[in-house]
A = this chain, B = another copy of it.
């Protein structure tokens, strides 16, 4: 009931082919170190292009799974016998693009995709310009090494998303991410934001009794210092590993999936959820 998960926290450059080569190299290293499920950071094939609204950036998008990037990682997964979680810019058709993660099984089988449900839009993160909100709902994927739930970046701030994914049977929650600090911001705000980001994701582990794996990018892109700090928790939100903020790194972490049963017996929230009382969650606000 243990599985080794691998993460790669890198900085990206403007050359898509070079980014893909870098991540390919790191996937090989992670696999050689024993990783069986490997999650790459959000939109790893490019710079975080959503820092501006620029029509030319749509050229970065590809079909999933027919596009070359998915096909490349399908071959790699099969060769290395690892599960891969690959976040990419998806072109679904003319005028419909998504922020999507493809999940590939350890025999190279394409298991399906999760399309980011919650799309941010604030200065430096103009994602509503590029990405149609996901219409596939929440997803779990039954891989050779376990059932994984995948959510993407802004999704991480919504306990609703993690709860539903856990209730679908996810044994691990993965969050490919791209988040950083405005370089003009002060250190106290930086620290508060990083802590809030880690806290809310740790809380998903606590609330649902599953480990959380959050994989962020690092590096400076324009005025944005991506804050790295990727981390992995156990099934009760304890941080087992935390990456540095400013350095590229890869890491393999063994997770004991049997812990979920232990924690959910001792902290039986799923038994006690008051599902008869939760319909107000389907409202925007309860002012009337």
- CB of B274 within 8 A of CB of A169, answer no
Assess whether A186 is interfacial by the CB under 8 Å rule: no
Q: A168-B286, A203-B203, A285-B270 are in contact. Are A237 and B196 (CB under 8 A)?
A: yes
Q: For the complex, what is the distance from the CA of A192 to the CA of B234, rounded to whole Å?
A: 10
Interface string of A16-53 (1 = CB under 8 A from B): 00000000000000000000000000000000000000
CB interface residues, A 138-174, toward B, < 8 Å = 138, 154, 157-161, 163-164, 167-169
Q: How many residues of A contact B (CB 8 A)?
A: 52
Q: Judging by beta carbons under 8 Å apart, are B192 and A199 in contact? A: no
How many chain copies? 2
The contact of A272 among B120, B164, B238, B283, by CB within 8 Å, is B120
Chain B residues with CB below 8 A from A273, complex form: 118, 158, 160, 284
Task: Provide the bound-state CA to CA distance between A269 and B153, in Å.
Answer: 13
Given contacts A122-B266, A154-B272, contact A117 B277 (CB under 8 A): yes
Asked if residues B163 and A159 are in contact (CB atoms below 8 Å), the reply is yes
**Which chain B residue has the least Cβ–Cβ distance from A192?**
B238
Are B169 and A138 closer than 8 Å at their CB atoms?
no
Taking the complex as formed, is A200 at the interface, i.e. its CB lies under 8 A from any CB of chain B?
yes
Bound complex: CA A146 to CA B200 (Å)? 26
Question: Could you tell me if B267 and A157 are in contact, using CB atoms closer than 8 angstroms?
Answer: yes
